[in-house]
Amino acid sequence: MFKNLIKESTGKSPWLFHINAGSCNGCDIELVSVLTPRYDAERLGFKLTGSPRHADIVVVTGPVTAQSLDRVLRTISQVPEPRCIVTMGSCPQSGNVFRGSYAIAGPLSKYVHVDVDVAGCTPKPEAVIDGLALATKILAEKRGQME
Amino acid sequence: MDFPFLKEAVTGLFTKSSCAMYPAVPSEAAPNYRGRIVYHPDKCINCMLCERVCSGNAITHTIEKTDEGDKITRTFYLGSCTFCATCMDFCGHGAIEFTRDYHMIATKEEDLMVSGSFIKKPPVKKPVPPKPAAAPAAAPAPKAEEKDAEACKPDKPVEAPKAEAAPVAEVKPRDDGKPVQDPAKCVYCTLCAKKCPAGALTVDRAAKTWVLDEDICVGCGTCAEACPKKAILI
């Protein structure tokens, strides 16, 4: 009985962990606006956590700089399976205007499997909510496969 | 006992929520929002100005040789785009358009590609107008490229050359971003006319004229880049 309860509630309320991999802070501000009362993703069950070990969805912003690469990978490896990695903005997908710089180790998809890309520079909060909703669906699929 | 916020707490239970109820209530972007790119290949002249001004290197193209001409496929990768709209501003033919669609969510990279292709026909070879002296003079060993350039030149009457007043006079770049020729440096090799994507330049090797059709020119700067003598200022 408890297992069913946990299964249902974890599916309805995925917890987010946000990694800034050298972002310009534009995407970070938009992610905060998604979680705060204007768009209030918490009414849909998304909750920001302070620890990667509690997270289901990892949101990565920024072009993955050479300095942050090791930290990003170490943080992501601490997130328990099943996990869903969402890239937010153009930077983690391609490097954007920073592409070709000696300080950029990205794109993120070179190192880990990325589940959802939310394009835009920066994406609108509505687009982020859509991306997180898609990530929840992928998470449910992954959870089903693990059982 | 005092409950300072009791009234607000009770009224708050019955008032409407102040957040944007996004998935339930669809939301539209602001009037000039720059979202997903729409590319109109039928308007494109392949001047490649958009690719040169793109800060995120999001615009690429491939060229495929077909029987009808070169098939040019231009791809916009939205995952590398900053949505600055510089490409749209520089496009003289309105081939790039930004829509208000902000739903750019993908699980694969291909979902973020916007592409379009068109066939660029080779220049129509018009019959060479009879020239009494010039044609035989160039005849002995003309390169194939030069021949093409002369052949594709339109046979309309050539306007008076623009900046041929005095060879010593210094040529200044124009304010509107269109090219200007320095007659002191120009060798009339016709390379600029061949490279011009819009076909706005008419260069006559024999008559030593360099004519720009200002209505067609988009100011892309391809001619200045192609010029081996740096005789075109832009």
Q: In terms of DSSP H, where are the helices of chain B?
A: 6-14, 49-53, 86-90, 134-138, 144-151, 191-195, 222-226
User: ∠A146-A5-A1 over CA atoms, to 5°?
Assistant: 95
pLDDT, position A127: 92
pLDDT at B124: 67
Q: State the Cα–Cα distance between residues B213 and B222, nearest whole angstrom.
A: 15
**Token reading at A12:** 């309805």
Confidence of residue A138 (pLDDT cuts 50, 70, 90): very high
Give, in order, the Cα–Cα distances in Å from B132 to each of A54, A119, B126, B137: 87, 62, 18, 10
Dihedral of alpha carbons A81, A87, A93, A98, sign: negative
The per-residue pLDDT for range A88-114, each reduced to its tens digit, is 999 999 988 998 899 999 799 999 999
Task: List, in order, residues 6 or more apart from B140 with CB less than 8 Å away.
Answer: none
Does the beta-carbon distance from A97 to B56 stay under 8 Å?
yes
B63 CB contacts (<8 Å, ≥6 apart)?
A: B70, B71, B72
B177 in contact with chain A, both atoms CB, cutoff 8 A: no
The alpha carbon of B92 is separated from its chain's Cα centroid by a whole number of angstroms, namely 6
Q: What is the CA angle B10-B16-B21, rounded to 5? A: 135
What is the distance in angstroms between the Cα of B4 and the nearest Cα belonging to chain A?
Answer: 23
E-only strand ranges, B41-175: 59-65, 70-77, 96-98, 105-106, 113-120
* Least confident piece of the model among A36-45, B124-133, B176-185: B124-133
Q: Which domains does chain B have, with CATH numbers?
A: 28-120 (3.30.70.3270), 142-233 (3.30.70.20)
Q: What is the pLDDT of residue B132?
A: 53
Residues on chain B touching A130 (C-beta within 8 angstroms)? 23, 103, 105
d(CA B159, CA B136): 24
In the stretch 41-80 of chain B, residues with CB closer than 8 A to chain A read 55-58, 77-80
State whether B79 and A93 contact (CB < 8 Å): yes
Say whether pLDDT at B136 is over 60.
no
Q: Residue A17: which pLDDT band, with cuts at 50, 70 and 90?
A: very high
In the sheet that B70-77 helps form, which strands lie side by side, from edge to edge? Answer: B59-65, B70-77, B113-120
* pLDDT for the residue numbered B98: 93
Please state the domain count of chain A. 1
Q: Is a pLDDT exceeding 90 seen at residue B224? A: no
A130 vs B20: CB contact, 8 Å cut-off?
Answer: no
Pick the residue from chain A with its C-alpha nearest to B102: A127
- The residue range of the domain holding A53 is 2-146
- pLDDT of B134 > 50? The answer is no
* Residue B97, CA distances (Å) to B31, B91, B94, B106 in order: 14, 10, 7, 21
Tokens found for residue A79 = 């997130």
Check CB contact of B107 with chain A, cutoff 8 Å. Answer: yes
Interface test with A, best of B80, B84, B109, B112 (most A CBs within 10 A): B80
Q: What residues in A contact B79, CB-CB < 8 Å? A: 90, 93-94, 117, 119
Across chain B, mean pLDDT equals 80
Residue A58, pLDDT score = 95
- Residue A31's pLDDT is what? 93
What's the pLDDT score for residue B166?
47
On the question of pLDDT at B226 being above 50, the answer is yes
**Residue-wise pLDDT tens digits, A69-87:** 999 999 999 999 889 999 9
Mean pLDDT of the region B6-17: 89
Contacts of B27 in chain A (CB under 8 A): 126
Instruction: Report pLDDT for B218.
Output: 82
What CA–CA distance (Å, rounded) separates A66 from B83?
25
| Average pLDDT, integer, range B160-165 | 48
8 A C-beta contact, residue B126 and residue B152: yes
Q: What pLDDT does residue B125 have?
A: 62
Contact B105 A119 (CB under 8 A): yes
Average pLDDT over residues A20-32: 92
pLDDT digits (tens, 9 = 90+) for B165-209: 444 567 778 877 788 888 888 888 888 888 888 888 888 888 888
Residue percentage of chain A with pLDDT more than 90: 69
Res B2: pLDDT: 81
What would the pLDDT profile of B20-79 be if each residue is shown by its tens digit? 888 888 888 889 899 999 999 998 888 888 988 999 889 999 999 888 888 899 999 999
Contact A135, A116 (CB under 8 A): yes
- Residue B145's CB is within 10 A of a number of other CB atoms, namely 12
Q: Which residues of A touch B58 (CB under 8 A)?
A: 94
Angle between helices A2-12 and A125-146 (to 10 degrees): 150
Question: A97 and B112: CB-CB below 8 Å?
Answer: no
Torsions phi, psi for B88 (to 5 deg)? -65, -40
- Measured CA distances, A94 to A98, A113, B65, B103 (Å): 9, 14, 29, 18
CATH number of the domain where residue A132 is located: 3.40.50.12280
> Which of B32, B101, B105 is most worth mutating to test chain A (most A CB atoms within 10 A of its CB)?
B105
pLDDT in tens, B74-113: 999 999 999 999 999 988 888 999 999 998 999 988 888 8
d(CA B221, CA B218): 9
